[in-house]
Structure 1
Amino acid sequence: MIRTFLCILIIIGAVPSNYVHALPREPSHVLLIYDGLAIGTSREGNIEALQRMLASYRMQVTISTFDAYKKGMLAQYQKVIVVRNLDDATTTSVDYLHDFEAYKGDYLHIGFHVPAQVQSQLNLHTKITNDQFVQLSIGQWKQRSVRVSHIPYIVQANGRHYGGISSEKGDIHAPYGVRENRFAYVPYYERGNLSELAMAYVLKDWLKVTEQGRTYLLIKEIYPFSDLKLVESMADQLYRAGIPFIVSVRPVFSNTDYPAMKRYLETLKYVQSRNGSILVNAPVVTTTINQAGAKLEDQMELFIDVLANYGIAPLGMGAEMYWSYDQYYVNQGMRFFNSTILFPNESIRYKSQQDESQRFSSSAFSMPLSFLEQFEHADKVIARLPMDVALTYDFDETEDQMNEHMQTLMDRWIHFDDYKIDDHEVKTVTNTVLSRNGLLYINDRSVDMNDAYRHINSEYDYLHEQKKSLATLFNIQNKILIALIIATLLVFGLLFIIGYRLYKDKYIKQRKEL
């Protein structure tokens, strides 16, 4: 018995740390309820940011308003988050109030109107700020001169304290958030300042997430008509600097056999050989999507197969956050991938909106690289963030812009992780793409990372010559006309020579007579 126990301990100790990180966690489901989107206020957009952050912790989310709440919903979830953006709104749902009295799961409250039960359990006392500037801090991060107006802050609370809020006047010295047992409270949460990042620290503990967050570098907006030589130069510079990276590429659904497409594929293969990972970006959604005949599912599968058949291993999908809350886009576009990176919504075009998100085994929280640059950090080396995060920037249009970005990356003390280290899977009917511990596989065959360039012939008829009616007759007519023109020129030349000689003889004869 003792020998068996020792063997188990040895096996556990032999498991590599990166494998432990990749172990699948039991699915977790969170109910997110809010009173309003606070459109036109500084809190606008915080619900969307919270949804993406929950996805980065591999959570499945069901979202609801108080008005849409149905009796018995709370009892279906072990974790509930309530966001109260509106200071003058009261909960009118009798069913919610009744269910909350009996709720025994984990509860996180954000914003105004903290329930009496939460106040009692946390021994919580709050006040409301005036219009003033405050300093936010969390971990190694700090942001000064954040303007706030009429927001609550914590005066007293039991439990673990997170970060801090202090006023420039010196009358506020409060924790950013608190947590004790199953209850947690965050009074202030906005998108675009340090509170967006600070929420991640509270969420990680409240969700009981133990995995260490990873940091990825993601370059977006790479198209077939991008400057492919510049893409290769960027890959070379990042490779020489030892920075692994991801490129999010726009899919192509037609003319995949053209030389221009082949050159695009060769460039992506070269990027892959320079320690770059490939992400398939969602296609641009227009009001006419799916009206041309081809299904989105078939188009996405076609592009994935084109990549895989060329020796390129796509490892995930990049899409705006709303895609994961749309049944059509989930089933038709995202179902091939178990990993995504969700971007902030820019232009929402739902086709079949649903209240429940699609859960992925990996879904990094994306933020522009410039987002972190607005904050101070205590140490020179930037520490890992609580969640998986993808720091993004759009591909540059000029070499000078690219060199400037490359220098900025090299000057920042950020440790970027290799996306291939984690387990990713992309699967179609024809191809299965996997990444395992930094190695890539297509249909169980290892991907050759040093595949040489192929020469792509630029002389190509993009429009095939079609058969023309009466072409033979026109050709005969053209030849006859050419012959007539040549004959006319010959006769004209002969007459010119004869006339010249006659005029010359007449001129000489007149001279002799003189």
Structure 2
Amino acid sequence: MKKSKCRQPLPKTLLHLLLLLCLLCSSSISSLAAAAEREAEPIHVLLLYDSLAKDSPKAGNVEALQQQLAAFGAQVTILSVDGYSGGMLEQYSKVILVRNAADMELTNAAFVQDRAAYRGDYFHIGEELPARQQQSLHIAIEQTPSEETMRLAIGPFSDEAVRVQNTPYIVMEQTAANPSVNLQAEAYGSFTPKQNSGANGSSPYAVRNEHTAYVPYFQKGNLSELAMSYVLKDWLGLAEPGLTYLLFKEIYPFSDLTLLAQMADTLYDAGIPFAISVQPVFSNSEFPAMQRYLETLKYVQSRNGTVLVNAPVVASTIGQNDQTLKTKMTSFIDVLAAYGIAPLGMGAEMYWSYDKEYAVDGMGFFNSAVLLPNKKLMYRSQTNVSQPFASSLYSISPSYLASFDREGKAWEPLPMNTALTYDFAENEAQLSADLASITESWMTFTDYKQQGHEVRTEAHVILSQGGHMTINGQAVTLNDALRQVSSDFEYADKGTVSFTTLFNVQNKIFIVIIIVSLFIFGFLFMIGYRLYRRKYFK
């Protein structure tokens, strides 16, 4: 009888290798989790400025920079240089200084001292680039004549008529081996005088190395606004290509809803995804007008449209003690969700993200937003720290892009996620013109639903990912049948009707009595008339 062979124990070396492999796997998993957590955290940027340059050509450039930083997912702390306190630079790994006032000397000694010792990533915009940063970039700075027309080019875009006045520009230091190349800094675009009257023939628009970036000219509304985003993205260390979305705003319950459905049909037939930012309604959700509004929004959603909630209109007469914004926004989101409509983000003027009350009570339901240019600042609780979003779009108007020359037919992706924003048309002729410009533009639009978005109230959780939308875990039904809403509606409650029958009987009795009384009165009148007539003839 054969003896069964005993299983030999594993060699110690093999055991050690298995143990080491397990440790490496667990370490890799924890490292990936930590990396994902770091990636989810927004980049913190300190944005300093010497002047907002109001009533000058540079007015609004700080605001435009704030919008771009938000589109790149950064959390921004904005502060004037005069309000700077010693030691603040050490708290940030990335610092931007906007120098709008060349004639204004920096008198804050704490900032000047801290900047000289700062070793983080520094981005200088405008005048007075410090000598240390100039040396690290290996550039020289020169000045244009009092007035000059420049040609600015970046990526596929160019602007032939940029008017500047006493503006600094960059001169690259050349290497001995190759005079045409500077190996120390990366150059962006070109900033070329149209008429060479004192300025050099050509210079880059901006330069950047590992820790320092410099843009000498930045003005809102011309190509330098878009050119800034190319430099800013690389300085922030971001590599993801930008996506372009199509957005329509200024949509109200009293808008032409038939025209809105027609627009959705046209874009759907053309295979163009789009989003609409709709004005919220906080009461009378049962009225036929509101029901038609909801029905149209649901139809738009079925035609590959995405619904965003626009910020409510802020009236100057609202008191500071009004604390109903959160309740109102919750009610509208819940009304949409109950009707089968999945709002995936919020559209608001940028200053909303710098207001504690608006950011929490108005925008706190959403992790995605489209930040629009400010029209009128109406803060309730202003703060200098922005509310970051997991997804934030930079709003650009079609007229802005149309003002530049562009190479090629197809559009290249812009550096940041961008919303090409139209105001919803007021008539069919305007809508036809807008749709024609969109369908003929050779621009590729991304479906907003393809990205991850999350909206939460106490009653509803709305999610989207990869084009799939859910409300409380249930897939959203895309029904393209536009239901007709009846106009028959009781706008006031009827009173108590328990005595209706009694009152009807009384009314009939009174009517009979009045008719009989009129008949008797007429009979007596005729008798009196005859008696009076006989007496008169006698």
Same topology, TM > 0.5: yes
TM-score relative to the length of structure 2: 0.84
1:234 aligns with 2:263: yes
Counterpart CA distance in 2 for 1:293 and 1:279 is 24
Equivalent residue, structure 1, for 2:469: 440
Alpha carbons of structure 1 residues 479 and 250: separation in structure 2 relative to 1, 3 Å: farther
Which range moved further: 421-430 or 120-129?
120-129
Residues 86 and 293 of structure 1: is their aligned pair in 2 closer, same or farther, counting only changes over 3 Å? closer
What is the distance in 2 between the residues matched to 1:135 and 1:33?
28
| 1:67-87 deviations in Å (ceiling 9; x for gaps) | 100111100001000000001
What corresponds to 2:190 in structure 1? Answer: 164
Counterpart Cα distance in 2 of 1:24 and 1:93? 35
State the alpha-carbon separation in 2 of the partners of residues 294 and 63 from structure 1.
26
**The one of 158, 166, 177 aligned to 1:142:** 158
**C-alpha separation in 1, matches of 2:457 and 2:64:** 31
1:294 is displaced (CA, Å) by: 5.9
Equivalent residue number for residue 177 of structure 1: 206
Hey, what's the Cα distance between the residues in 2 that align with 1:289 and 1:479?
Answer: 56
After superposition, where does 1:1-150 map in structure 2 within 5 Å? 24-130=39-145, 131-150=147-166
Change in 2 beyond 3 A, CA 1:424/1:487: same
Counterpart in the other structure of 2:219:
190
Normalization by structure 1: what TM-score?
Answer: 0.88
Change (3 A) 1:79 1:253: same
Question: What secondary structure is seen at the aligned counterpart in 2 of 1:370?
Answer: helix
After TM superposition, list the pairs within 5 Å mapping 1:262-411 onto structure 2. 262-289=291-318, 295-411=324-440
Quick one: which amino acid aligns to residue 351 of structure 2? Y
| 8 Å Cα contact 2:138/2:185 also seen in 1 | no
Cα deviation, residue 392, structure 1: 0.4
Counterpart residue number, 1:417 = 446
- CA separation of 1:36 and 1:470: change in aligned 2, threshold 3 A: farther
Does the 8 Å CA contact 2:71/2:394 hold for their aligned counterparts?
yes
Structure 1 residue ranges without an equivalent (≥5)? 9-20, 497-514
Does structure 2 conserve the Cα–Cα contact (< 8 Å) formed by 1:290 and 1:296?
A: no
- Of residues 184, 194, 209, the one that matches 2:238 is 209
- Distance 1:167-1:477 versus aligned 2 partners, 3 A rule: same
SS of equivalent residue, structure 1 residue 174:
coil
| Residue of structure 2 equivalent to 1:461 | 490
Q: What is the CA–CA distance in structure 2 between the aligned matches of 1:185 and 1:263, rounded to whole Å? A: 53
| 3-state SS of 2:382 partner | coil
Partner amino acid, structure 2, of 1:95:
A
1:84–1:113 contact (8 Å) kept in structure 2: yes
State the AA in 2 paired with 1:340.
Answer: A
- Spell out, residue by residue over 1:390-448, the C-alpha distance to the aligned partner (whole angstroms, 9 max, x if none): 01011111111101111111111110111111100000111000001011011111111
Inter-partner Cα distance in structure 2 for 1:144 and 1:469: 81
Separation (CA, whole Å) in 1 of partners of 2:410 and 2:481 = 37
Distance 1:489 1:166, change over 3 A: farther
- The residue identity in structure 2 corresponding to 1:232 is A
**What SS does structure 1 have at the residue aligned with 2:83?**
coil
Instruction: Give the RMSD, CA atoms, in angstroms.
Output: 3.0
User: Partners in 1 of 2:171 and 2:468 — Cα distance?
Assistant: 52
Q: State the identity as a percent.
A: 48
1:463 to partner: Cα distance: 2.4
Deviates most, 393-402 or 289-298: 289-298
Quote the Cα distance in structure 2 between the aligned partners of 1:338 and 1:491: 82
Q: Which residue of 1 aligns with 2:530?
A: none
In 2, Cα distance between the equivalents of 1:159 and 1:341?
Answer: 34
Counterparts of 1:418 and 1:272, CA distance in 2 = 12
SS at match of 1:213: coil
Distance in 1 between residues matched to 2:202 and 2:190, nearest whole Å = 7
3-state SS in 1 of match to 2:359 = helix
Q: Distance in 2 between matches of 1:321 and 1:486?
A: 77
Q: 1:169, 1:470 → 2: CA distance?
A: 93
Which is further off, 85-94 or 281-290?
281-290
Question: Aligned partners of 1:357, 1:453: CA distance in 2, in Å?
Answer: 40
Cα drift, residue 132 of structure 1: 2.0
Cα distance in 1 for partners of 2:167, 2:499 equals: 82
2:169 counterpart residue number: 153
The one-letter code of the counterpart of 2:84 is Y
